Structure 1
Amino acid sequence: MYFPFLRGKQFELIALRELVSLPIDPTKVSPIVEPLKKNLNTIATAAKALNTIGVKVQLIVNPQYGDLKDKTNEILQFIAIQEASYGTDNLIPTFLIQTSSDFRSFHSFRTNPSWSGNPFSLIHLKQIPEVDQIVQFMAGAQVFANIIHVNQILALRRRFGRISSSLLADPFNRQLRNSDYLDLEDEFFSNDYLYYSEEGYAGFCDYLTIGSDFIEGGRLPYAVVIHLTYLDSGSGDIRIHHFISDTNYDDSDTAGKFYEALTKLVNFVDAHSIPETIAISKFKEYYDSQAYPGLGVVKKLSMMHHIELMQSVMK
């Protein structure tokens, strides 16, 4: 199974909602969402839409960033209300594990009678001293996913033994400035989908075409870049192409720079016979109309394309 890791920003949640029309296959894809804003209405809307097609959403209850950091009980209460009041029963409480404090939050959850029988997911970003206690708490529990960061994978897989685990990697090679992508316009992204099953993993996870770095807001860019993953039919690898604007001398005319990058994307897609996804179709509409939807929409389409691509290559 593929677990795309998204943060609960507006356009990331809209991306999930719009992929309902694909539709997302619940046997192949289960998104992870790390909430950032105190108002969880947009997450409720996305979860409700995905619930109509049976897709489980792993909602992080102890986020690292944003308004809800250290608000685990608040998020758990939100999950309970969504199920009890609205019938939205596809939200899976998910814990990031990287400190002893995270273990205490998980311990409280597992020993609370209100939650003791509910499925949950764990995402191990680091190995903590309480790992053996975590293994004990997982015994006999309904573990939806046990996901281990690639940096910890060898040590922790040995500790978990027979417990089914999945792999988390961050293959997006983030650059300091958008113009820096000119030096690596096309590069390897991942081939986890090819090998995860035969290597004994239940699934794999990535941070899509965003990367794991948390960046809040930002200034207008000198260069506009569109990131698009695609299947290399020769090797079977997933590669990523960065389409960069040309007139990158200052932060003016973002719309014009978008069209420069978009022209390169459309030419590349046509030249390499890239299958048309929902996102590529929208990119072509913007190209034909010479419309500029805003950088948030550009990021949304890049993520939508990646999720659709990964679903298409999953067996």
Structure 2
Amino acid sequence: MQKVWFITGSSRGLGRSLTVAVLESGDKVAATARNISQLDDLAAKYGDRLLPVQLDVTDYARVHDAVAETVAHFGKIDVLVNNAGFGITGAAEAYTDEQVRSQLETNLYAVIEVTRAVLPYMRKQKSGRILQVSSIGGRMGTAGVSIYQAAKFGVSGFTESLAQEVKELGIWVTSVEPGGFRTDWAGDSMTYAPTIEEYSLVNSRADFFKGGTFVAVGDPDKAAQVMVNLTAHPNPPVHLVLGSEAIKMLGNMDDLRAKEKEEWLPVSLSTDHVDNAGDFFNSEFTKSYLNR
């Protein structure tokens, strides 16, 4: 059955690769971009299966209008992909207030708002797929990208909670967590905080990105095809890591976290109140929560 997709950030990078892959699969796309003229070639090729939608995802009133326009045009939204976003590098204390706000507004708040705008339609039709493009940086921290990763950790956590809320409604939610892919994330889409000399590790990372020598492992066209296939899977994962680099990094971090947990386990357990501990673990809510 032909599906209708709503994809943010469709004009470049992974969003464009995904838009093309969806159209090639025969589905329809409401493709959002701040400058929809960048979608003219796709509109000419795919005709009325593509609906270009002008959208700055930080204009939250416009978000709801864009979703409503899509439903009015195509009749439904089967798949939402929150893809719009950009990177930023620098020391945590160095970012300007505007840089911090713009990161959170674009990479986190907009994801939440677009999702909230689409959910009523999916709830009424009792079906839907939501793919949140997070990052391996939403599962582990890396020096130099603290604010970007704060947003992506938020996306991954929001996804995990939301997936539990809406599963009974026939809606499946996945946090797609790529490593480095050959998009312009570290190029034109990357911004930088002012430099503070003492942060040598952070500054070396910024210099690496600015130098243009960063070559990512991941292929965005392959990632796009995985995402298309994912929407047909009967039991999709809540977290999907993409790329061998990301798998290696996550494995290393899991090992470090497991070691730290065991090392500090006596301290963790020492903070329980002796009263009612058994009642807590025996309650039906706690059992369902801990065993979910």
Fold shared per TM-score above 0.5: no
Q: TM-score, normalising length from structure 2?
A: 0.35
Structure 1-normalised TM-score? 0.33
- Larger helix proportion, structure 1 or 2? 2
